[in-house]
A and B are shown apart, each in its own frame.
Chain A
Amino acid sequence: MNRFEYIKAPSIAEALDMMDSTVPEAMVQKTDGSARVVKAGGTDLLDLIKEGILEPGRLIDLKNIPGLDKLSFDKEKGLQFGPMVTIADLEKSKEVKQHYPALYQAAAHAATPQIRNMATMGGNLMQRPRCWYFRSNGHHCRKKGGTTCFAQIGQNQFHSIFLTNVCPCVHPSSLATALVAYDGKVELTGPEGKRVLPLSEFFTPSNVDVTCENVATNQEIITNIMLPPVQDSTRAHYIKQGQRESYDWSMGDVAVVLQMDGKKCRDARIVFGAAAPIPLRRESAEEVLKGKSINEKVIEQAAEKALEGATPLAYNGYKVHLFKTLLKRTIMEAAS
């Protein structure tokens, strides 16, 4: 680990004043050891620093800023939580479990209990991908400003099956899969004020900018994450498949949020995690469900539609079958 300065920021304004780089910028443009980056739980940041692929000059810790770890639920307004709310906080919240079961399931299956106690939701959305070439100090890949993608020609069994042409890393957040399915929004605060974005517009696919995963600038900090209220008609489910039940990253995860009128599906949101460099909406499959009664045939059609256009790599063709099965199970669980 390189040596760095450390400061506990007393306020968002002061943190913004001090920060001068996003973590992606500190890994590509500002690699001279002077980058000042913000830190939340630190679980991903420390990992990057330990691997020697991030050498910051200063960490600006957000833990002391009051109010960032609040979680609130209101039937009319929905769920709202600050960036310093931990994954364990979501897992333990009765409101999350009762009203947002897909988010609860995503929280309960992320990482390990210890990591869930430490990792924050702001950091979860900002974390860097887990591609082993990206994480390796010996591979100067595209994401780190290089010209080669080693995953496209190398070991790619855990990589993406959609949007694979520039950098087939998958987005590492399995919580984001559920948050996008619930049509969550993120509030970014900068020196000029706040902007609110749907999470579906927050993430950046690698064919738009390969060196980063989201639109947050080096003058912005996530200050809130919001989910709309759920209706009586809302049904949701989330399933994550890993190689192991615990301490493992997702090989594929699926979140489904349905609006049901009896047996009939009025509206649907389907999101795949670990399928693409961003949490991936499958609108074509959503269209199959809309206006129909959920039965085996419709579910089968939706699963086929959801995997149309997949471009699996040499070693991850299994993910096409995995996602079909996961989607069928998730819709069945949600609708039941």
Chain B
Amino acid sequence: MKNDSKERSPEKKKQGVSRRAFLRGAGMTTAGTVALASGMLSFKPAEPAPAKTALMGPGETEVSLTVNGQQRTLWIEPRTTLADALREHLHLTGTKVVCDRGSCSACTVWVDGTPVNSCMTLAVDVDGREVTTVEGLAKDGELHPVQEAFIEHDASMCGFCTPGMVMSCAGLLERNPNPSLDDVKLATSGNLCRCGTYPKVFDATLAAAKKMK
């Protein structure tokens, strides 16, 4: 919580702690208590990264991946999914977990530029690879054209599917800068939106494609 407070501007500080920062801080306190009580609070050894073919786990193992252009090293169990690694370990909570079974695609991220379900991907599987999350779309403080278009076209209702939807649409424009309506429908066909805001998602993506030309 301390670290989060340090990063806050004085104006924001007056408004108190955000829900996210509170939860994160509370979680860390709990984890710290457990670690101290069981004498587990050990210093991670600075060993070289294990060879690709080394046996990992079942305990924590080192995984290095590039997330949104930054090299990140994590100590995680092999059973940790990429979604959990991003959300719980790197605090990149833009990626949402809804079904946790690969049926809704709210957790869509790109691995080496390809949209995948991060809930059905083990983080150890993407060791050494490049992951892009919704947090990585904005460049130099400017939102991605798809994000801009989602705002302009009011393309989210409850908003929970939005990060995954944006990753699918932006992914489409990476592959195909000139998509038809059917291409957009196909690209978002795995993204489940229970509010039913698909028509606006289609409009926004086609508008973003025009803007990006």
- Interface residue ranges, A against B (CB under 8 Å): 1-10, 14, 42-43, 46-47, 49-50, 58-59, 61, 63-64, 88, 111-115, 117-118, 245-247
| Given A61-B125, A246-B189, A42-B78 contact (CB < 8 Å) | no
Taking CB atoms, residues of chain A closer than 8 Å to B79 are: 1-4, 49
What number of A-B contacts does a CB cutoff of 8 Å give?
Answer: 101
Taking CB atoms, residues of chain B closer than 8 Å to A49 are: 79
Instruction: Please provide the chain B residues from 71 to 112 with a CB less than 8 Å away from any CB of chain A in the complex.
Output: 77-79, 81, 100-105, 108
Q: Does B121 contact A (CB under 8 A)?
A: yes
Q: Does B186 contact A (CB under 8 A)?
A: yes
Q: How far, in angstroms, from A34 to B108 measured CA to CA in the complex?
A: 32
- Identify which of B52, B57, B186 contacts A8 (C-beta below 8 A): B52
The minimal Cβ–Cβ distance linking B101 to chain A, given in whole angstroms, is: 6
| Given A10-B53, A42-B125, A61-B125, A114-B58 contact (CB < 8 Å) | no
Q: Does B116 contact A (CB under 8 A)?
A: yes
Q: Name the residue among A6, A10, A14, A118 with the largest chain B CB count within 10 angstroms.
A: A6
The minimal Cβ–Cβ distance linking B170 to chain A, given in whole angstroms, is: 14
| Cβ-defined contact, A118 with B117, below 8 A | yes
| Cβ-defined contact, B120 with A6, below 8 A | no
| Given A5-B78, A117-B114, A63-B125 contact (CB < 8 Å) | yes
| Cβ-defined contact, A3 with B53, below 8 A | no
Q: How many residues of B contact A (CB 8 A)?
A: 35
- Identify which of A42, A43, A114, A247 contacts B108 (C-beta below 8 A): A114
- Interface residue ranges, B against A (CB under 8 Å): 52-59, 61, 77-79, 81, 100-105, 108, 114-117, 120-122, 124-125, 168, 186-187, 189-190, 192
Can you list 26 A-B contacts (CB < 8 A)?
A: A1-B79, A2-B79, A3-B77, A4-B79, A5-B57, A7-B55, A8-B52, A8-B53, A9-B53, A10-B53, A42-B120, A42-B125, A43-B102, A58-B55, A64-B52, A112-B190, A113-B186, A114-B102, A114-B108, A114-B117, A117-B114, A117-B115, A117-B116, A245-B189, A247-B189, A247-B192
The minimal Cβ–Cβ distance linking B198 to chain A, given in whole angstroms, is: 11
Taking CB atoms, residues of chain B closer than 8 Å to A112 are: 102-103, 105, 189-190
Taking CB atoms, residues of chain A closer than 8 Å to B116 are: 114, 117-118
Taking CB atoms, residues of chain B closer than 8 Å to A43 are: 102, 117, 120
- Identify which of B59, B105, B124 contacts A114 (C-beta below 8 A): B105
Taking CB atoms, residues of chain A closer than 8 Å to B105 are: 112, 114, 247
| Cβ-defined contact, B190 with A246, below 8 A | yes
Taking CB atoms, residues of chain A closer than 8 Å to B187 are: 113
Taking CB atoms, residues of chain A closer than 8 Å to B115 are: 113-114, 117
Q: How far, in angstroms, from A112 to B108 measured CA to CA in the complex?
A: 11
Taking CB atoms, residues of chain B closer than 8 Å to A10 are: 52-53
Taking CB atoms, residues of chain A closer than 8 Å to B81 are: 46
Q: How far, in angstroms, from A7 to B127 measured CA to CA in the complex?
A: 12
| Given A4-B79, A63-B125, A64-B53, A118-B190 contact (CB < 8 Å) | no
| Cβ-defined contact, B54 with A7, below 8 A | yes
The minimal Cβ–Cβ distance linking A71 to chain B, given in whole angstroms, is: 16
Q: How far, in angstroms, from A175 to B154 measured CA to CA in the complex?
A: 38
Q: How far, in angstroms, from A117 to B87 measured CA to CA in the complex?
A: 22
| Cβ-defined contact, A113 with B190, below 8 A | yes
| Cβ-defined contact, B78 with A59, below 8 A | yes
The minimal Cβ–Cβ distance linking B78 to chain A, given in whole angstroms, is: 4
| Given A8-B52, A113-B115, A47-B120 contact (CB < 8 Å) | yes
